[in-house]
Each structure stands twice: as structure tokens, then as C-alpha cells.
Amino acid sequence: MSGLRLSRILWIGAAAIIVAAALVALTAVLRGEFSETDGRILGTLGAVLFAGATIVAGLALVDRGGRALGWAAVAVSGPGFAALVFAVWDLTFDGEDNAWQWGWTGALAILAALIAVTAQLLARSPVVARLAWLAGGLAVSAAAASVAAIWGDSPGSTAGKVIAVLWILTGVAYLLVPVLQRFMSAGVPEAAERVLAELNGVELVATHAREGALDVELEPGERLLLRRRRAT
């Protein structure tokens, strides 16, 4: 499935969720009250959008060749979504009221996966890709430390400071990915060209110019080849 199709699926799904949320809100207004069930439905729709965006981003990364990270994000999104829905509907396991812990665990897991895959999707050059890996690693570390604190017994102030520092570094690294990628792209002249191959005077050229360029949509696993037709 191409990145364009995945993007369309994401936006169609997001539109459907927004419409459903609006219908729930309108029903609550017309009924004259906003019940707990209405809030849980809206929370569930938000969880669907959150986990769905991560799944689509993961599949888009798989389509670009990042199979390990992409499938890992998809795998994390399922249990994370289940934990979020569990917290939204305030269910309990064996009578223990730990729904909020499961909810935060699911949300942090999905957030770390979303940061890791979108950072890779935003990176287009090897240098920025390394920064994207750093952002993903920091996000996973920050999420893991946060989950450990949530399930731990009264974490101290030092642990809280470590978690805060990890999330700050994650935010800085993640935000620098598109900024540096844009900066590096802006430094390349619009008409810069690079000849990739030549056959009988016909050149295959990589260029930033739009005029005369071909927009070819490849299926997963396909590559462009330049070859001479054999004489019959």
C-alpha cells in the first residue's frame, strides 16, 4: 500500500471520527445533559484516532523500507489502544482500581511509537535520520521511565527530574528533525541536477526542479530501471 493511500485512509478515518464526536456532542446538547457514557464514547474515539494515526504512520514507514520500526509501532498500537479503552471505561482487574495506570501506560507507549515513526518519516537525509533515531530512542526511554514511575511505589524527586529531562530532550530532538531537514533542503539550489545514468545520450537525472519532472508512484518493492531494449 503506497504512502498516498495510507495518508488518504488516515484523513478519511480522522474525518469520520470528528463527525462521530460531533454527533455525540449534539446528542448530549439536545438531550440537555452530558453523561459519563458520552464522555467515554468521546474518549474512545480519541483513542481510536491516536492509535490509528500511529498504525498508519508505522505502515507508511514500512512502505519506505523501515520494516522493523514500522511493524514495532503497529504492534505497540494494539495493546496501547486496549489499555486506553480500559481506562476510559474505568474497568477493573480483580477489584483493583488501577485503570488510570493502564491508561497512562497505553498512552505513553503509543506516544513513544508515534514520535519514533513520524521522526523517521520527516527525515530525508542521513544526518537528519540519525537525529530522528535519537529522538525515537529518547521517546522510548522517557516513556519507559514514566511507566516505571507510574507503577512504582512513590518515586522520588530525582526520578521525576530524570523523567522531565528525558521528555524535554525528546521534544527538542523531535522538533529539530523537520527544522534541520528544511534547513538542509533550503540550502540546495532549485535547479540542482545529478546525473544518475546515461544510455545512448538519454540521461536519468535527479533534480529539485519541478518542470519536466515525472511523478511516478511505485508499488512496494518496485524500483526504477534504465535498460536498452534488445534487438529482435
* Domain range list for the chain: 3-186
Joined together, the cell numbers standing for residue 138 give 529518547
Q: Residues of the chain whose pLDDT is less than 50?
A: 94-95
What's the rounded Cα separation, in Å, for the pair 130 and 109?
A: 22
Q: What is the pLDDT of residue 160?
A: 87
Q: What is the pLDDT of residue 95?
A: 46
Q: What is the pLDDT of residue 154?
A: 72
| C-beta separation of 173 from 138 below 8 A | yes
| C-beta separation of 168 from 141 below 8 A | no
- Reported pTM: 0.73
- Nearest to residue 6, comparing CAs of 108, 74, 69? 74
Q: What is the pLDDT of residue 124?
A: 85
Q: What is the pLDDT of residue 179?
A: 92
What's the rounded Cα separation, in Å, for the pair 132 and 230?
A: 45
